[in-house]
Amino acid sequence: MRLKILLASLALSLASSAYAQAPATPAAAPPPPGPPAVNDGATTFVVTFKVKAGKEADFEQAFKEMSQGVREHEPGNIYYELYKTAEPQTYVVIERYKDAAAITAHGQSAHGRKLFAALRDLTEGRPQAQRLIFVLSK
């Protein structure tokens, strides 16, 4: 229950901080193909999880289901990727959203609530989240 409350608070905090950024100004015409414009409103999160010993397969399955939900129900998600680090039992999720509305939709999704419930039995301690605001691409 404590982890569920923590993760819900984290999602709400990240969504709230996303609302604090200035809205992107609408363009008169669609941008040309290529990398996104500087400060296009996109936000990326890098979230690190420490998984309980022996729970790695269950954790990966929970994220497989979450990824499917994101893919099928979140058009505002640009990407959602799970990585395993060289550090034992440590995983990183990198997720990018078009705008604050997409972040809010993610935090309130049924598949997100299901993942948050599963994580309380699968992880140790609090996940570490870092919010990145897009600046430049190649």
Q: What is the pLDDT of residues 60-69, one digit of tens each?
A: 999 999 999 9
Q: What is the pLDDT of residue 32?
A: 42
- Predicted TM-score (pTM) of the model is 0.69
For residue 63, give both structure tokens.
């994220």
d(CA 89, CA 87): 6
Query: What domains appear along the chain, each with residue ranges and CATH number?
Result: 2-19+39-133 (3.30.70.100)
For residue 114, give both structure tokens.
């299901």
Q: What is the pLDDT of residues 106-119, one digit of tens each?
A: 999 999 999 999 99
